[in-house]
Amino acid sequence: MSGAPTLLSIDCGTPFLSLGLRHAGHSVQRVLEVGRAHAERLPAELDALFEDAGLPKRADSIVVGTGPGSYTGLRVGASYALGLGRAWGVPVLGVSTLEGLARGQSGAVAVSLDARKEHVYGAVYLLQDGLIVQTLHAPTKVPLTDFEALAAGLPWLRDTSPDPDLLARNGEAHGLETWSLSYL
């Protein structure tokens, strides 16, 4: 393999386990609906991810989804990412889980996750060439009807799985070295 840097992305804030590797311009992903079994599935799925990519189990940096999302899932993903980061001596960058939902090429897009009781965790982002360049409405918990009004006329992605490659690319572009988990 070439000496290109390898970036690992991990998100456990939703019912999906989203893992991705970026290396030498290529992306390998594993996205599985696991419900609440992130802790049980993460180690083996991460091994399989590196095997699928044909890479040794090591990355030069890690991006972790910081929520909003499941309290336990976020803690599992963050703990695992921080443990790997310490073992490998690499930075662990944080990005909002909602950024991994913002699929699209260019323009404004609304994204949301169900927060129960007629509420959503939502945000609106401006994308350029598939990357988030501006946050138009910061991630927050709002009544569904309020977010429907905010998202009117925009592409709206609801309750989808985080895209590991999008998390990684946004982490490279503007991931935070100092971050905290967002349970909203």
- 157-183, pLDDT tens digit by residue? 999 999 999 999 999 999 999 999 987
d(CA 131, CA 124): 13
d(CA 85, CA 123): 28
Mean pLDDT, rounded, of the chain = 94
Provide the H-helix boundaries in the chain.
38-53, 71-88, 144-151, 164-174
40-43 long-range CB contacts below 8 Å, 24 or more apart? 41/17, 42/10, 42/12, 42/17, 42/76, 42/77, 42/80, 43/80
> Does residue 10 sit within a domain?
yes
Residues 11 and 83 placed together within one structural domain of the fold: yes
Task: Indicate the burial class of 164 (C-beta count within 10 angstroms; 0-12, 13-18, 19 or more).
Answer: buried
- Residue 2, pLDDT score: 56
11-to-44, 83, 85, 119, 147 alpha-carbon distances in Å: 15, 15, 15, 22, 24
Residues 29 and 54 placed together within one structural domain of the fold: yes
Choice among 46-50, 51-55, 76-80, 105-109 with the minimum mean pLDDT? 105-109
- 104 pLDDT band (50/70/90 cuts)? confident
- Of the candidates 24, 103, 18, 105, the one whose C-alpha atom is nearest the C-alpha of residue 63 is 18
> Considering its fold, how many domains does the chain have in total?
2
User: 117-133 pLDDT, tens per residue?
Assistant: 999 999 999 999 888 99
Residues 91 and 40 placed together within one structural domain of the fold: yes
d(CA 78, CA 54): 25
Residues 78 and 168 placed together within one structural domain of the fold: yes
- pTM comes to 0.93
Query: Which domain CATH number covers 15?
Result: 3.30.420.40
Residues 168 and 92 placed together within one structural domain of the fold: yes
> Does residue 183 sit within a domain?
no
- 25 pLDDT band (50/70/90 cuts)? confident
Residues 90 and 60 placed together within one structural domain of the fold: yes
Residues 138 and 85 placed together within one structural domain of the fold: no
Residues 21 and 93 placed together within one structural domain of the fold: yes
CB 73 within 8 A of CB 113: no
- 1 pLDDT band (50/70/90 cuts)? very low
- Residue 3, pLDDT score: 77
> Does residue 35 sit within a domain?
yes
Per the structure, the complete domain to which residue 168 belongs is given by 6-97+161-174
> Does residue 38 sit within a domain?
yes
CA dihedral 175, 8, 35, 162 (to 10 degrees): 50
Share of the chain above pLDDT 90, in %: 88
Residues 71 and 125 placed together within one structural domain of the fold: no
Map residue 43 onto helix, strand or coil: helix
Residues 92 and 24 placed together within one structural domain of the fold: yes
**CA geometry: angle 61, 71, 63, nearest 5 deg:** 10
Residue 184 has pLDDT above 70, yes or no: no
> Does residue 168 sit within a domain?
yes
> Does residue 139 sit within a domain?
yes
